[in-house]
Structure 1
Amino acid sequence: MSEINRRGLLAGAAATAAFGALPVWQARAQAQNTIRIGVLNDQSGLYRDVNGPGSVSCVRQAIADSGVTQRGINVEVLVGDHQNRPDVGSNIARQWMDRDGVDVILDVPTSSVALAINTVVRERNKIFLNSSAATSDLTGAQCSPNTIHWTYDTYMLAKSTGGAMVRAGGDTWFFLTADYAFGHALERDTSNFVRAAGGRVLGGVRTPFPGTDFSGFLVQAQASRAKVIGLANAGGDTINSIKQAAEFGLTRRGVKLAALLMFISDVHSLGLETAQGLVCTETFYWDLNDRTRAFTQRVLPSMPNQLRPGMGQAGCYSAVIHYLKAVADMGAQQAKASGIETVNRMKAMPTDDDAMGQGSIRPDGRRIQPSYLFEVKSPGESRGAWDYYKLLQTTPAEEAFRPLSEGGCSLVRS
């Protein structure tokens, strides 16, 4: 068990001990009025900056902003490190729900882990609010009445970033694909958009996950003579791929890099000199509007190393805000009794918060909102710290994600 998970479980045990010190009737009443949220993500590996402690900070900010504690509802947060392994994630989830009374599991980057958690949560009729896994299968063939998929998915990323690259003349592609569920889904969805637009996929290679040396794979990509190298990876893998492509001078030779999933923390790590000109799709940017700037100012003091929140972390804030609205509407005891009932209440309510703005939740569990195509600024264009993006285009919410009728979700009536 990881150290961060032990800390989370100890916090839960301390809370249980505190209940036990009360009279039995009072302890039971307090437990019935206490919501427990388990934040499960990568706290120590290549997605640490993308999610990690920053997601926890955003969850705690959401609890503070929701005002539910002033209404007598207690909210506790447990934290676990799934180490990007489905077996580790599943074991933590089972222990949280079976022993520690966790009502909601949140965040869960790494699609293979998310798909495993999706099953575990459904078996126990709890709630899974996924902000950071990308696989569109969560609202497709593996959709669940207990799951809501927030923030982004492979279909949306492929349509926005992949479609833009083809329209700009990038009609031949070669993929560097992280060899697990997320990479496979992102390559699949992007390939479909490339072909639909008249482009061709010349080849691809599956890369170890996580990886450090992409030089051999980049040589294969260059040999294909593809105009675009599609990076179907994320986090540290994306950063290393882009750095090594720059060292080889691929972009100077006219090859375009399509960072199909890139976060602002990745741009920060790369620096504008290396990242300038890259395009990426996000559903949140800290400097997008007055509301996103206000949210960022509130959460920034608790963000690790003063990193600006990325879309996965902002999605955690948005999901918790909406969940707690449903809890306040239903009452904690009723919300804890049935995950499906609470998810249905969430689907019936429009979403709105400072981080992600207005949106809605479809019957398949897909939370929809506009997506934004950004280009990374050059050093000369940036006006100051973290001024990294310029907006190229906005895709409306109803067009950004896969049509409801095409996902194959069993929850959708034909």
Structure 2
Amino acid sequence: MRRVVSGFLAAMCAVVSTAALAQGKPPLKLGGILDMSGLYADITGPGAETAAKMAAEDFGGEVLGRRIEILAADHLNKADLSANIARDMLDNQGVEMIYDVAASATALAASEIARARNKIIMFNGPGSIRLSNEACGPYTVHYVFDTYSQANVTGLAAVKQGLDSWFFITADYAFGHDLEKDTANVVQKAGGKVLGDVRHPLNSSDFSSYLLQAQASKAKVIGLANAGGDTINTIKQAAEFGIMKGGQKISPLLVFITDIDSVGLETAQGLLLSEAFYWDLNDESRAFAKRFMQRVGRVPGAAQAGVYSSVTHYLKAVKAAGTTDAAAVMKIMKETPINDMFAKNGRIREDGRMVHDMYLFEVKKPSESKGRWDDYRLLATIPGNEAFQPLSESRCPLVKK
């Protein structure tokens, strides 16, 4: 009995000591800069904040005796506001790492602030290839996808199927420009042609004039170099115009499961798309999705799953390094393979690109779906070294050639 009591008291002392230690040190703050209310809110937004909190909770809620605190702020899709939030988080709130930063223009702005302060910033929602090229930094990680991988997977698959003439409807900012450029390069290298393009303002509601130009081009494929609400509205209005019934294919170059759910299988069926993650891929992804759904009410998209994975990878590196020093933590992050519900044998290269498998999916017909969120049929798994830009083509000054 004495041994039992002594063991119990020792365990209680350890718990109290850990708690006291955590209380005696400042919390480890991780800050998300998200679109909480705009056209990308379903892609990242509150779901990304929840994913970060789930990662912190699953890690035990503390690291190095410091309680993990997850912060989030809404950048309203404004680059200057994103920069100001990043500056305030790092200078005034004591944030050690910034996660997500949905949208490319806002990510590029926040990246400059983090780089000037030698702080780690991990991108999950933005897609611009510039983040691991011209705008790369020693403490920058581009985790989920980029315009090169999206173009390489979707564009190449389409041309191989004989869909070799393209017209682009493009969001008029960094991400849209990069996605159109990268896809056009893939199409042309594969022997296809680009017949034209048109650009629209971010968060548009009326795509009729753009769709009419695309329809008049008689291109086999209308590539949508936009995302979120813009992609949803373009697809819906294209269906209203009878564009798909007229024989032209709509190819959303960046689309998420929440977008397909909003559009509906009746309209979206047959679309070819590239994703970094799908909730129904395997037992691990399904288990995570079940827990996520209990808290958010819908399955996780790729960016949200990437937030969980990247925050977990960061916390593991902090624990292994014994410090939050960016150089020490980043060294371990780049040395350690990533194996979890998001990626298998993922790795962070010297340019900050996290390389992992990508997936080519076809959207199911309504008759093939077993229920809500059962939207994709897996067509191909593309290894990371084939999907992402090779280092030989990198424009990142950190890459030695």
Is 1:311 the counterpart of 2:311? The answer is no
Give the Å deviation of 1:72.
3.2
| 373, 395, 399: which one aligns with 1:408 | 395
Match of 1:143 in 2: 136
CA distance in 2 between counterparts of 1:55 and 1:317 reads 8
Match of 2:163 in 1: 170
| 391, 403, 407: which one aligns with 2:378 | 391
Give the Å deviation of 1:299.
2.0
Cα pair 2:321 2:328 within 8 Å, conserved: no
| 17, 25, 30: which one aligns with 1:30 | 25
Q: Provide Cα deviations, 1:361-399, integer angstroms capped at 9, x if missing partner.
A: 111110011000001101100012211000011101221
Instruction: In structure 1, list runs of 5 or more residues that go unmatched.
Output: 1-24
Q: Give the letter for the 2:169 counterpart.
A: L
Match of 1:226 in 2: 219
Q: Provide Cα deviations, 1:10-38, integer angstroms capped at 9, x if missing partner.
A: xxxxxxxxxxxxxxx9899511xx31110
Match of 1:258 in 2: 251
SS of the aligned residue for 1:83 comes to: coil
Give the Å deviation of 1:358.
3.2
Is 1:341 the counterpart of 2:328? The answer is yes
Match of 1:67 in 2: 60
CA distance in 1 between counterparts of 2:281 and 2:154 reads 18
Is 1:130 the counterpart of 2:123? The answer is yes
Cα pair 2:154 2:253 within 8 Å, conserved: yes
Match of 2:187 in 1: 194
Give the TM-score of the pair, scaled to structure 1.
0.90
Write the mapping of 1:11-410 to structure 2, written as runs, cut at 5 A: 29-31=24-26, 34-67=27-60, 69=62, 72-303=65-296, 306-331=297-322, 334-335=323-324, 338-410=325-397
CA distance in 1 between counterparts of 2:193 and 2:107 reads 31
SS of the aligned residue for 1:158 comes to: helix
Give the Å deviation of 1:411.
1.0
Give the Å deviation of 1:345.
1.8
Cα pair 1:68 1:324 within 8 Å, conserved: no
Q: Provide Cα deviations, 1:21-62, integer angstroms capped at 9, x if missing partner.
A: xxxx9899511xx31110111000001111100001111111
Q: Give the letter for the 2:203 counterpart.
A: P
Cα pair 2:254 2:274 within 8 Å, conserved: yes
CA distance in 2 between counterparts of 1:168 and 1:340 reads 46
CA distance in 1 between counterparts of 2:88 and 2:310 reads 23
Query: Which stretch shifts more, 91-100 or 294-303?
Result: 294-303
SS of the aligned residue for 2:95 comes to: coil
CA distance in 2 between counterparts of 1:103 and 1:71 reads 14
Give the TM-score of the pair, scaled to structure 2.
0.93
Q: Provide Cα deviations, 1:343-374, integer angstroms capped at 9, x if missing partner.
A: 22211111122233331111111001100000
Q: Give the letter for the 2:99 counterpart.
A: L
Q: Give the letter for the 2:25 counterpart.
A: Q
Query: Which stretch shifts more, 151-160 or 396-405?
Result: 396-405
Taking only aligned residues, the RMSD between alpha carbons, in angstroms, comes to 1.5
Give the Å deviation of 1:70.
7.5
Q: Provide Cα deviations, 1:197-225, integer angstroms capped at 9, x if missing partner.
A: 11110100011111110000000011111
Q: Give the letter for the 1:146 counterpart.
A: Y
SS of the aligned residue for 1:79 comes to: strand
CA distance in 2 between counterparts of 1:83 and 1:70 reads 32
Deviating beyond 4 angstroms after TM superposition, the runs of 4 or more aligned structure 1 residues are: 25-29
SS of the aligned residue for 1:353 comes to: coil
User: Greater Rg, structure 1 or structure 2?
Assistant: 2
Give the % identical residues.
51
Instruction: In structure 2, list runs of 5 or more residues that go unmatched.
Output: 1-19
Q: Give the letter for the 1:354 counterpart.
A: M
Cα pair 2:21 2:65 within 8 Å, conserved: no
Cα pair 2:25 2:65 within 8 Å, conserved: no
Give the Å deviation of 1:154.
0.2
Q: Provide Cα deviations, 1:279-315, integer angstroms capped at 9, x if missing partner.
A: 1111110000011001112222111xx1110000001
CA distance in 1 between counterparts of 2:62 and 2:162 reads 53
Q: Provide Cα deviations, 1:72-122, integer angstroms capped at 9, x if missing partner.
A: 331001110001110000001101111100111110111111111111001
